[in-house]
């Protein structure tokens, strides 16, 4: 099995293009939600029972993994 070798750092132009693609994708999602409000509302309505279940659930037992860290 060949050893792994790191790739070269991307150029500034490549990073800019990647960032612009991410922003464009996010903008397209926002525009789709605005131009199709019925689909957006249907999605929110179908997800509502899940959110209610999460908010109404009893918290689990306190362990070292789910409590705030403090000094001492």
Q: How far apart are CA 59 and CA 16, in angstroms?
A: 43
Region 3-16: mean pLDDT is: 93
pTM over 0.75: no
Contact 48, 41 (CB under 8 A): no
Task: Render pLDDT for 23-60 as a digit per residue (tens, 0 to 9).
Answer: 999 999 999 999 999 999 999 999 999 989 988 888 88
At 25 the pLDDT is 97
At 72 the pLDDT is 60
pLDDT band at 8 (very low <50, low <70, confident <90, very high): very high
At 24 the pLDDT is 97
Q: How far apart are CA 53 and CA 58, in angstroms?
A: 10
Contact 40, 33 (CB under 8 A): yes
Query: What are the DSSP calls for 11-60, one per residue?
Result: PHHHHHHHHHHHHHHHHHHHHHHHH-HHHHHHHHHHHHHHHHHHHHSPP-
């Amino acid at each position: 099995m060949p050893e792994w070798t790191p790739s070269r750092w991307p150029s500034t132009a490549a990073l800019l293009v990647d960032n612009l693609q991410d922003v464009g994708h996010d903008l397209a999602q926002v525009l789709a939600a605005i131009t199709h409000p019925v689909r957006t509302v249907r999605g929110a309505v179908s997800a509502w029972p899940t959110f209610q279940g999460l908010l109404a659930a009893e918290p689990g037992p306190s362990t070292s993994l789910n409590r705030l860290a403090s000094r001492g």
